[in-house]
Structure 1
Amino acid sequence: MVCIKSILTLGLVVGSTALPKNDTLPGCGEVNVFYTGLPPYHKYVLEQGYPGDEAAGAIKNSTRELINAGYNVKMFLAGPEQPMSVTEDRMKGRHWHITGVGFGVRGSTNGEVITKFEDNLMLFRRQGPNSPTVFNYNP
């Protein structure tokens, strides 16, 4: 998760190329990032071999880095047992410049988690069709 800032920056650069000439890029403190993943102590995180305390620390530190870099971050952690309607409710009311899914979801081989990953991507397309979706490279 440490490298998420670089990935977000790349997402902004790539996403900005699609802006019409009259639009301006958002400034510092104006970039909204919605990021989701599994809760750090979720059974599927633990089954993948990641200690909950380490996962919690990584999520906390990466989120703090994003905030300190000037991003408006909304983190929503949910397992596959959580209906997608709850995630959708968390996204309402704001334009999301960037969306992201954590490694615990993307790196899983569990069918329920893979379905959650796909559902997240479909939701991101509906909620922010022109916003890039970014991924961290490891836990």
Structure 2
Amino acid sequence: MVFFKLLLLLSSVVCVMAAAIERAAPPPMEAGCGELNIIATGLPPFHPIVTQLSFDPKVVEAAIRADAANITKLGYNLKVVLMGPEQDLDVLRTKIGGTQWQATGVGFGMRGAPREDTTIRFTGGLCKNCAPCKLLGIWLIFIVDLVNLYRSEVPNAPILFDYSPTTMSWALQRAFRLPADCQPGKDLEIERLTVAIGH
């Protein structure tokens, strides 16, 4: 019973803190149609991590493409670079160069998965020598390096986070408000970078 009361108290505190954080979020910045260049990165839909997390790669691919189309339809200019943690970040660094980016994005698949076993793997508690754990360990280091790369190469651009393959548009609209009557932005392409992954 004591445990239940403690759990109830902690959940109430978390809800209050989450509400306070949400209220404290700054209002979206006003911007003009076609003026915002956004570069976002995420896992390729057919990457082993995606399938290990029990996501259907075809559904993920369709969702990413639909959200990207929605983003440009809303008036944002978007480049998507899909890559896994085995890809050298210098490749992304070259994609960042040459364009003034107003925002960067990190897809949900790059950051986490709604699975307990994956979380345990990140902490090293499930297995230490299995191939999926090694791959996921590299992935965690990659995420930290990715955020540091964005901070170093595009220091004034906010890093946006979505919560599914269809919500980068939501993250953009929270950060940047465009007029409702915008012409479509530029599709700066969806690029899939892959290297062979050893088993």
> What is the identity percentage for the equivalent residue pairs of Structure 1 and Structure 2?
38
Q: How many angstroms apart in 1 are the aligned matches of 2:141 and 2:71?
A: 27
CA contact (8 A) 2:40 2:79 kept: yes
User: Which residue pairs with 1:22 in the alignment?
Assistant: none
TM superposition shift of 1:11:
8.2
How far residue 27 of structure 1 moved from its aligned partner, in angstroms, is 1.5
CA distances 1:103-138 after superposition (whole Å, capped 9, x unpaired): 111115421111111111001101111111111123
| Paired residues of 2:107 and 2:163 also in contact (CA < 8 A) | no
- 1:127 partnered with 2:153: yes
Gaps of 5+ in 1: 1-9, 17-24
Matched with 2:108 is 103
Larger radius of gyration: 2
State the distance in 2 between where 1:31 and 1:12 align: 17
Q: Give the aligned length.
A: 120
- Structure 1 residues 79 and 104, CA gap change in structure 2 (3 angstroms): same
Query: Residue 115 of structure 1: which of 131, 137, 141 is its match?
Result: 141
Structure 2 unaligned residues grouped into runs of 5+? 1-24, 119-135, 166-199
Which sits farther off after the overlay, 44-53 or 112-121? Answer: 112-121
Runs of 4+ aligned structure 1 residues displaced above 6 Å come to none
Please, which of 126, 136, 139 is the counterpart of residue 162 of structure 2?
136
User: Match for 2:157: what amino acid?
Assistant: S
Aligned residue for 1:35, secondary structure, equals strand
Amino acid at match of 2:54: G
Q: Give CA deviations for 1:64-114 in whole Å, capped at 9, x if unaligned.
A: 111101111010000111100000001100111110111111115421111
How does 1:13-52 map onto structure 2 within 5 Å? 13=28, 16=29, 26-52=31-57
